[in-house]
Structure 1
Amino acid sequence: MNAPVLLGVSLKMYFGHHETLNWSRRIVRLADRHPAVTSGAARLFVLPAFPAIVPVAGILARSGVAVGAQDIATEDVGAYTGEVSGPLLKEIGCRYAEVGHAERRRLYGEGDTVVAAKTAAALRNGLTPVLCVGELDPVEPQEAARRTVAEAARLLYGLEGPVVLAYEPQWAIGAPEPASPEHITTVCGALGEWLNSRPQHAGSTVIYGGSAGPGLLSRLGGSVGGLFLGRFAHDPEAVAKILDEIEPAGPAASRTEVA
């Protein structure tokens, strides 16, 4: 059987608390019934805002949908006002921690040193970092691949453990359309080859983000490990449409509507 397609959703700061919980309940109903999920062909994880992690983890627990955080502190304990540590995230049920998103870099000045430290914090606490990488400006696919592999190599230098590399070209985040299929497959293919050459990162996955939505998986033809979704996943019906693009493992089953 091929590796499951990994679909992650970051809710960023769009939803209120109760809206987050209601969205999570709809995702559970979808995951409980959709053949791509129930057959094991797809895996889902959700990154809500910090205050919602505990109740969302409770809602998702029976479904197999994993929960994670949108950020993580570089340190594990101490006088770091406003930060949330890896040990705490692990304790409350997180399996993933997003690191290095372009918005964190642009709005809060997080450079490579901070991103690498946060990635290390996730790994040493048994969390899978969702490490965002991607070029700032549009360039040719081969050049984007070169820059992005070099970025991943810098950020993961000296670290061990499985990671989710989320390729998000910064120029495509929030854009009307994602990068072209040729661009995505070239860069994600290069990242995958680089990871496969590094046994210390066995079990890693490369997914694509940056205005990813329904229809993109079909256009990519199975050339990426999954998608990292933002605003296009705010409607669970859109998540269902993306899952419809994933061939169920084993006997075919009917597609599922969201209640």
Structure 2
Amino acid sequence: MAKVTVGVSLKMYFGHERARAWFDEVAARVRAHEAVSSGAVELFITPTYLQVLPAVAAFEGTPVRIGGQDVSSEDSGAFTGEVSAAELAEVGASIAEIGHAERRRLFGETEEVTAAKTRAALRAGLTPLLCIGEVEKQDPDAAAEVAVAQLRSALDGADAGPVIVAYEPVWAIGAPEPAGHDHIRVVAAALRAAVEADADREGSAVIYGGAAGPGLLTALGDAVDGVFLGRFAHDPAALVTVLDEAAELAARREGATG
């Protein structure tokens, strides 16, 4: 796959007006970024629910994809406080982030809940952004077993459709440094093999998150299909640095397959 994916989760760091200002600044930079405009680099952003509509508006006319940071496992009904996949799709979102470590740790979401949300997202035509990763630091082969088991569990009974698999070892989230390059390569290779073995997941991607920043894509090369950024991307200029890096990787991939 020549395309390289860069994602950003804003979590709950921005208030509404700051988020709108960030969208506007990033959108202006994206419109001038040839690799994003051409589709060689895919950028997606998951803001808070209240920020989804202004994000969709700010990035109108660009290929940037907007997603929700969570989604209900139910399609509709008396579920106070929930947001359905169908409604996210209706307002212009195309991605649903599912199974993030914070949802699992803070809100007790289980593998069964993750699988139900994945099924709901695919039913509505959204791309699940499946956050996967081991809790405790361990050797790469053991981590790969945990990650592949989580992926298979999340996809159990799900409709056909591509997914974005975000490998985020929990112990690396918010850490000063990402997981080691060799560690990421082993786990990402196992996840990619599992996705490629599933005929229903054509067009899927495996990306890395967890203290991701500049230089990581260049170091990992073809080991991953992109990166998932957190606070590093709060600075639009820093985000563009990673988009430039992604563009270089996409060009190398295109040259290798051309």
Global fold match (TM > 0.5):
yes
Q: Rate the CA distance shift 1:251–1:45 in 2: closer, same or farther, 3 A.
A: closer
CA contact (8 A) 1:178 1:212 kept: yes
Quote the residue 1:91 is aligned against: 90
Deviations 1:84-104 (A, max 9, x none): 011111101010000000000
Q: CA deviation at 1:249?
A: 9.0
**Structure 1 residue 155 displacement after superposition:** 1.5
Aligned match of 1:11: 10
Residues 40-78 of structure 1: CA deviation (Å, up to 9, x unaligned)? 320101111111111110111112211110000010111
Q: What is the CA deviation profile of residues 102-149 of structure 1, one whole-angstrom value per residue up to 9, with x for unaligned ones? A: 000000000111111111110000000001111010011111111111
Match of 1:42 in 2: 41
Equivalence for 1:148: 147
Work out the number of aligned pairs and report it. Answer: 251
Q: Which residue of 1 aligns with 2:207?
A: 207
Question: Which secondary structure state, in structure 1, belongs to the residue aligned with residue 96 of structure 2?
Answer: strand
Distance 1:195 1:137 in 2: 24
The aligned residue for residue 135 of structure 1 is: 134
- What does residue range 163-178 of structure 1 map to in structure 2 within 5 Å? 163-178=163-178
User: Do 2:221 and 2:249's aligned partners in 1 also have CA atoms closer than 8 Å?
Assistant: no
- The CA distance in 1 between the partners of 2:248 and 2:104, in whole Å, is 37
% identical aligned pairs: 50
C-alpha distance 249-228 of structure 1, shift in aligned 2 (>3 A): closer
Report if aligned partners of 1:40, 1:248 keep a CA contact under 8 Å in 2.
no
**What residue identity is the alignment partner of 2:100?**
H
Query: Which residue identity is paired with 2:222?
Result: G
**Counterpart secondary structure, 2:87:** helix
Is the Cα contact below 8 Å between 1:40 and 1:249 reproduced in 2?
no
Q: Secondary structure at the match of 1:191?
A: helix
- Say which is worse superposed, 123-132 or 27-36, in terms of deviation: 27-36
- The CA distance in 2 between the partners of 1:35 and 1:68, in whole Å, is 22
Which residue of structure 2 lines up, in the alignment, with residue 120 of structure 1? 119
Q: Which amino acid aligns with 2:227?
A: L
**SS in structure 1 opposite 2:190?**
helix
Instruction: Provide the residue aligned with 1:228 in structure 2.
Output: 228
Tell me the TM-score normalised to structure 1 length.
Answer: 0.93
Distance 2:140 2:248 in 1: 31
Name whichever structure is richer in helix by fraction: 2
The answer to whether the Cα contact below 8 Å between 2:37 and 2:63 also exists between their aligned partners in 1 is no
1:225 and 1:57 map into 2 onto residues whose CA distance is: 24
- Deviation at residue 200 of structure 1 after TM alignment: 1.1
**1:41–1:248 CA contact under 8 A, matched in 2:** no
Write the distance in 1 (CA, Å) between the matches of 2:251 and 2:219.
24
Which residue identity is paired with 2:117? K
In structure 2, the residue matched to 1:256 is none
> 2:137 is paired with a residue of what secondary structure?
coil
The structure-2 alpha-carbon separation of the partners of 1:96 and 1:251, relative to structure 1 and needing over 3 Å to count, comes to closer
Segments of 5+ residues of structure 2 without an aligned counterpart are 253-258
